[in-house]
A and B are shown apart, each in its own frame.
Chain A
Amino acid sequence: MTAMNCDELMLRIQALEFTAVDLNLYLDTHPCDARALADYNQVVAALAQTVAAYEQAYGPLMNFGQSQSCARWAWVEQPWPWETQG
């Protein structure tokens, strides 16, 4: 994977997580669909990898013990999701 900047990593996370959300809802009503389950597990692994790369460079994406913080409390440093435009 070539190095992605902050926006590119976030877009990748959004795409992967959306795939996970949609497969999750599908599996809720089709729990025996082995192919969908394999797709879900594959996207979970890819998402975890991308989130780790993002968090290492730009700070935690989740609160309440779901993400490590660096030496500082970086949670409150990055802009919030609705602050996307100057």
Chain B
Amino acid sequence: MWVYEKKLEYPVKVSGPNPRLAKTVITQYGGPDGELAASLRYLTQRYSMPTSQAKGVLTDIGTEELAHMEIVAAIVYNLLKNAPLEQIKAAGMEGYYADHDRSLFFVNGDGVPWIAAYIQSKGDPITDLHEDMAAEEKARSTYEHLINLSDDPDVTDVLRFLREREVVHFQRFGETLNIVQEHLSSRKVW
């Protein structure tokens, strides 16, 4: 069961319409290392985790990633909302506009739609937790690239928050990996 909270985890503000920036930030909505991939990866891997603690970490981080998906959506929505068609065309977003107008859709920066093949669930908790740690690092790198590209200080501020959360999640997954490894190597027969 999930319930919705009518708030963002972190406040979102944009300086004005900016389809060029929206075109890049949208990759964290529907790209390979984006927040949809992150939330679905963790929330589907949790079922086969061996310890209650690992199930908790995947549930809680997976849930926080849903809140991050909403933050990225709020950025893109506001960057596109009042953008004139001329700006959309100049940003190379006319293909996106043709299919989606100024609405949200799960694509990367080049318009490639999200696919489940971006994520994995191997049933081996060591394998899955290593994937989760790599995923957090890939997302951190992506946010750094987006910060490099951003020309809107309000958006950059939110991107910095999201980048920091990847660092914290990486740390928590690393601790979880240690706990699970210890659990798996402990003697079960005496």
B7 A10 Cβ-Cβ under 8 A:
yes
- Report the interface size class on chain A: 20 to 34
Residues of the B chain whose Cβ atoms lie less than 8 Å from the Cβ of A11: 11
A31-B53, A82-B70 known; A14+B78 contact, CB < 8 A: no
Whether B57 pairs with A29 at a CB distance below 8 angstroms is yes
**A11 CB to nearest chain B CB (Å):** 7
**A2 touches B (CB below 8 Å):** no
Nearest to A63 among chain B residues (CB) is B4
Residue B28 is within 8 A (CB to CB) of chain A in the complex: no
**Segment touching A, from B31-39, B110-118, B171-179:** B171-179
State A78–B7 Cα separation when bound (angstroms): 11
Q: Identify whether the interface residues of B are mostly helix, strand, loop, or mixed.
A: helix
Which B residues are in CB contact (< 8 Å) with A10? 7, 11
Which partner residue on chain B sits nearest A78 by CB separation? Answer: B6
Contact (Cβ within 8 A) B172 A64: no
B105 at the interface (CB under 8 A from A): no
Residue of A nearest to B169 (CB): A25
> Contact check: which of A14, A25, A31, A85 meets B8 at CB < 8 Å?
A14
Asked if B10 CB lies within 8 Å of chain A CBs, one says yes
User: A28-B57, A82-B77 known; 18 other A-B pairs, CB under 8 Å?
Assistant: A10-B11, A14-B7, A25-B169, A28-B60, A29-B53, A29-B57, A31-B53, A62-B4, A62-B6, A63-B3, A63-B4, A64-B3, A64-B4, A82-B8, A82-B70, A84-B12, A84-B74, A85-B14
Q: Which residues of A contact B (CB under 8 A)?
A: 10-11, 13-14, 17-18, 21-22, 24-26, 28-31, 60-64, 66, 75, 78, 80-82, 84-85
